[in-house]
Structure 1
Amino acid sequence: MRIAFLTAPEGVEQVELTEPWKAVSDSGGTPVLVSTEPGRIQAFDHLDKADTFPVDEVVADTTAASFDGLVLPGGVANPDALRMDAGAVSFVRDFFGRGLPVAAICHAPWTLVEADVVSGRVLTSWPSLRTDIRNAGGTWVDEEVRLCDHGPNLLITSRKPDDLPAFGEALVNAFSREPA
C-alpha cells in the first residue's frame, strides 16, 4: 500500500501530517511525501514553525496511478497554496478519476473544492469551510470522521486534530480495501 501525502512547501499542520503518516506506516503501508517543489517542506504547529520534512516526489513528476490512496493534511496555508497550483489540483482530481480512496482533514477539503470533486458528496471539515463545501455542491456534516462512498471511490474526512485517532483508523481501513 503506497500512499501519497500531498503538501505545499510550507503551511501543513504538522500533527495532521505525522499522525496519519504513522498510521499508514504502522499498518505496513508506505507513505510518500509529495509536494509542489523539491527539497523540504516546512510544517507548522498552528501559527508557529515546527519541523521540516524531506520531499520524496514532486507532483509534476508523478501521477495518481503510482499510488493506492491520497492523504491531504490540513493547516490553513497548506490547502490554500495547493488549490492555487494547477498541478496539485490535477493530481487530486486524478485520484478521484481513478476511483482511489482519498482522505482529507481540517482545512484540506479546500483543495477538494478547487478540484471540483465535492458535488454530491457528504463530508466534514473545519467548520469555517462549511459554506465553501455547500457552494461546491457537497453536504457538510459536523462529525468526527465521515466516510462517503459516492461514485467509484471512498472519501474520508475529519474536522480537526482531536479527530486524528478516528481519522487514522478510517483511512487505514479504506486504503487496505480491495479496489472495486
Structure 2
Amino acid sequence: MAKDTLQGFNVAILVTDGFEQVELTEPRKALDEAGATTKIVSPKHQRVRAWNMTDWGIDLPVDVELDQAKPEDFDALLLPGGVINPDSLRIEPNAITFAKAFFDAGKPVAAICHGPWTVIETGSARGRRMTSWPSLKTDLNNAGADWVDQEAVVDKGLVTSRSPDDIPAFNRETIKLFSGGRGQRHAT
C-alpha cells in the first residue's frame, strides 16, 4: 500500500476498556502506514485498556474524549471488537450517536469481530451483507443484516471481518474502502 494513500484522512477509533488489542493495534498500524491520522475516541478519560486474547493487555492514551469528539472532524470510523468493548459501547448513548453520524453522513466504517454490535445499535445493519465473530450471527440476522462466513465483507460503505485471524484481509479492505471514501466528510 502506498504511504500516501490516505494522506490527510482522519480516522476515529471508537473504543472503551476491553477492546481486543490486535484488532486496534494492527488496523491502526496499517492505516498510519497508509498515511491516515488515527485518533482513539473513548468515553474513558485519559487511557483505555486492551484485552489481549485471555487477559488484560496494554493501556493506550485517549486522543479525544467522546463528549468532545465531533464526527465531522473525521473521515471514517474504525470499530475494534473484543467482547467487553462493544458490549459496553452499545449501551453508551453518546457512542451510538457518534457512530450513527458516520453512517448518516455516508462515511466509511470498518468493524471487526464483536464490533458490529455497535453497528446494530445505530440501526445501520439492516439491508447490509456483513460478517462478524460467529456468535453475532443471530444478532445481525435479527437486526436485518445478511450474515455470511467470510474473512472480509464490504457492503454499502461498511467493511466487516470475523476475528484476529482475518486482520490481513480486514486491513486490505479497510484501506481500499477508506481510500475510496475521500471527500465524504461534510462540514457543518
**Normalised by the size of structure 2, how large is the TM-score?**
0.91
Alignment-derived partner of residue 86 in structure 2: 79
Answer yes or no: is 1:110 the counterpart of 2:108. Answer: no
Answer yes or no: is 1:156 the counterpart of 2:163. Answer: no
Task: Identify which of 119, 138, 142 aligns with 2:145.
Answer: 138
Specify the SS of the correspondent of 2:51: strand
Alignment-derived partner of residue 33 in structure 2: 26
| 1:100/1:179 contact within 8 Å kept | no
Question: For residues 41-120 of structure 1, what are the structure 2 equivalents within 5 Å?
Answer: 41-120=48-127
Post-superposition CA distance 1:61-110 (Å, at most 9, x none): 11211101000000000000000100000001000011000000000101
- Offset of residue 17 of structure 1: 0.4
Percent identity, aligned pairs only, is: 46
My pick for the range that moved more, 99-108 or 39-48, is: 39-48
Alignment-derived partner of residue 5 in structure 1: 13
Specify the SS of the correspondent of 1:3: strand
CA distance in 1, matches of 2:110, 2:177: 9
Alignment-derived partner of residue 172 in structure 2: 169
RMSD: 0.9
- Offset of residue 179 of structure 1: 4.0
CA distance in 2, matches of 1:53, 1:112: 23
CA distance in 1, matches of 2:99, 2:70: 9
**Normalised by the size of structure 1, how large is the TM-score?**
0.95
Count, aligned residues: 175
Specify the SS of the correspondent of 1:142: coil
The one-letter amino acid of 1:6's match is L
Specify the SS of the correspondent of 1:99: coil
| 1:124/1:141 contact within 8 Å kept | yes
Any unmatched runs of 5+ in structure 2?
A: 1-8
CA distance in 2, matches of 1:128, 1:44: 18
